[in-house]
Amino acid sequence: MPEATRYNKLEQESKLVQNLIKMICYRAETAFANQLAPNFKQSVNQIRELVKSIIKLPCDITPDKTTNTLTINLYSLSNPRANKALNESLNLINQTQTLFSGTTLTVIFQQKNTS
C-alpha cells in the first residue's frame, strides 16, 4: 500500500474505545465469576475457565411474541456441579426480567439436558 494510505497505528480515540470495551467485558466476566464462586472454592482460574466455557456454550434462541419472551436454552456443561452453578446463576439473572435491546421481549435463560 502507498505510505499515505497505509494503516500503521490506531488513532488514540480508537484505542481508548477498544480499551473501554475490553474493560467492560472483563468487569462483566468478573461479576459473573463472583456469582459462581460459592460453588467453586478451589481456585479463581477454575471459575474463570467455567465462565469462558459458559460463554462459548451453544444455545437455542426462541422468540415468542404471544408471551413477549425471548427464551435462550443453553446446552449442558460437562459435569453436574458446573450445571448446578450455571442453573443458580440463570435463575438469578432471570429475576432481573431484562428486556432484549430494542424490543419488548423479556429474556429468559434456561438449561437443556442438565445433569
Q: Is residue 82 situated within a structural domain? A: yes
Q: Is residue 20 situated within a structural domain? A: yes
Q: Report the pLDDT value the prediction gives residue 115, as an integer from 0 to 100.
A: 46
Of 80-84, 91-95, 105-109, 110-114, least confident by mean pLDDT is 110-114
Q: Is residue 4 situated within a structural domain? A: no
What pTM did the predictor assign?
A: 0.72
Helix (H, G, I), strand (E, B) or coil at 74: strand
- 39: nearest Cα among 84, 92, 94: 84
C-alpha grid cell, residue 89: 446463576
* Burial of 76 from C-beta contacts in 10 A (0-12 / 13-18 / 19+): middle
What are residue 59's DSSP bridge partners? Answer: 74
Q: How many domains does the chain have?
A: 1
Q: How many CB atoms lie within 10 A of CB 85?
A: 21
Q: Is residue 6 situated within a structural domain? A: no
Residue of higher predicted confidence among 3 and 79: 79
For residue 81, the enclosing domain spans: 12-111
Exposure class string for 20-31: b at 16+ Cβ within 10 A, else e: eeeeeeeeebee
Q: Is residue 87 situated within a structural domain? A: yes
Per-residue pLDDT of 39-94, as tens digits, reads: 777 677 788 888 999 999 999 999 999 999 999 999 999 888 889 889 988 999 99
Q: Is residue 3 situated within a structural domain? A: no
